[in-house]
């Protein structure tokens, strides 16, 4: 009987903590969504459930004659997708090299990555801006993409390398005995088994540019080049006035691509290491 009571108390405590965390996570989303349906531009009369809800703010941001929101959305998706694809390819190749090969400078390279991942990008803002200005990459998406790719390499290479180290090297040797070359082993043997970590790297590489404000604000100068973070900031800054309700409407729509990517890659987060690793 005591064990049964203990189990009930543990379950009750667990569900209580889960309920608190759910409220902490869901309440801001409900608050922002309610603000996006509030008439006018001010939140002085705001309530979570608006008295006279309206969809006018969503119509406004989708009106290309009144808003550059769709332009900002496209800019952001372009930067995020290119950064994600390039980061996954670059990090996978580098992590595979560090995991499977022994070469001069390997240890020093890993140590350098370990140090670099401790330094945030905004700590080198002045250097980044000067370098972008010298190379003509100010106010270009290419400059942002290169910075995001470079910033993703140190930490994610360590994560990917640690995961690849856990994949048995006997699989490589078996494939090599069958005549497989280095690239074929990488592409057909190791990468299919590394899908969980590839999914994690892809999500990280996509979310970082999507939510970054500082680097985009420093490098981008024209409204037509803005990403969503910078564009939405301008809605509540001096240039466009205090459009807090429009800001809320635009913020809600930001979650859609991130949610789609996460749900599409969710199955890989829990897939086993040996999935597809049995030789036929």
Cα gap 36→56, rounded to integer Å: 9
Q: What pLDDT, on the 0 to 100 scale, is given for residue 273?
A: 37
> 21-31 burial, b if ≥16 CB within 10 A, otherwise e?
eeeeeeeeeee
Query: Could you read off the pLDDT of 169-183 as tens digits, one per residue?
Result: 888 888 888 888 888
> Is residue 165 over pLDDT 60?
yes
pLDDT value for 169: 86
User: Does residue 280 have a pLDDT over 90?
Assistant: no
Q: pLDDT at residue 88 above 60? A: yes
Going by C-alpha positions, the residue among 75, 73, 79, 68 that lies closest to residue 239 is 68
Is 83 within 8 Å of 148 (Cβ atoms)?
A: yes
Q: Which pLDDT value is given to residue 37?
A: 81
Q: pLDDT at position 276, please?
A: 36
Mean pLDDT of 247-256: 85
pLDDT for res 71: 92
User: pTM, whole model, 2 decimals?
Assistant: 0.83
Q: Which two tokens stand for residue 152?
A: 């993703």
> Are the CB atoms for 208 and 122 separated by under 8 Å?
no
Angle among Cα 192, 195, 196 to the nearest 5 degrees reads 150
- Mean residue pLDDT of the chain comes to 84
**pLDDT tens-digit profile of 24-78?**
888 888 888 888 887 776 666 666 777 777 888 888 888 877 788 899 999 999 9
Instruction: For domain 68-235, give the fold.
Output: MetI-like fold (1.10.3720)
Counting residues of the chain whose pLDDT is more than 70, the rounded percentage is: 91
Question: What gap in Å lies between CA 14 and CA 250, rounded to an integer?
Answer: 35
pLDDT band, very low/low/confident/very high, at 225 (cuts 50, 70, 90) = very high
3-state secondary structure of 237: coil
């Amino acid at each position: 009987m005591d064990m049964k009571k203990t189990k009930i108390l543990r379950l009750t405590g667990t569900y209580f903590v889960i309920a608190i965390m759910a409220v902490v996570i869901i309440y801001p989303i409900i608050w922002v969504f309610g603000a996006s349906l509030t008439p006018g531009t001010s939140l002085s009369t705001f309530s979570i459930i608006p008295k006279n809800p309206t969809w006018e703010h969503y119509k406004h941001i989708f009106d290309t004659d009144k808003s550059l929101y769709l332009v900002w959305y496209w800019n952001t998706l372009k930067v995020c997708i290119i950064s994600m694809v390039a980061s996954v390819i670059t990090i996978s190749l580098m992590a595979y090299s560090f995991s499977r090969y022994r070469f001069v400078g390997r240890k020093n390279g890993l140590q350098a990555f370990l140090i670099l991942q401790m330094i945030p990008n905004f700590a080198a803002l002045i250097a980044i801006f000067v370098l972008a200005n010298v190379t003509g990459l100010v106010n270009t998406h290419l400059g942002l993409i290169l910075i995001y790719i470079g910033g993703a390499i140190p930490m994610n290479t360590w994560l990917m390398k640690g995961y690849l180290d856990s994949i048995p090297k006997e699989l490589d040797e078996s494939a090599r005995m069958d005549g497989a070359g280095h690239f074929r082993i990488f592409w057909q043997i190791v990468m299919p088994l590394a899908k969980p970590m590839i999914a994690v790297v892809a999500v990280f590489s996509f979310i970082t540019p999507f939510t970054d404000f500082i680097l985009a604000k420093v490098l981008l100068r024209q409204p037509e080049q803005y990403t969503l973070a910078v564009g939405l900031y301008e809605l509540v800054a001096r240039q466009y006035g205090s459009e807090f309700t429009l800001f809320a409407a635009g913020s809600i729509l930001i979650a859609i691509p991130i949610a789609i990517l996460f749900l599409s890659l969710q199955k890989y987060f829990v897939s086993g290491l040996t999935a597809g690793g049995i030789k036929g």
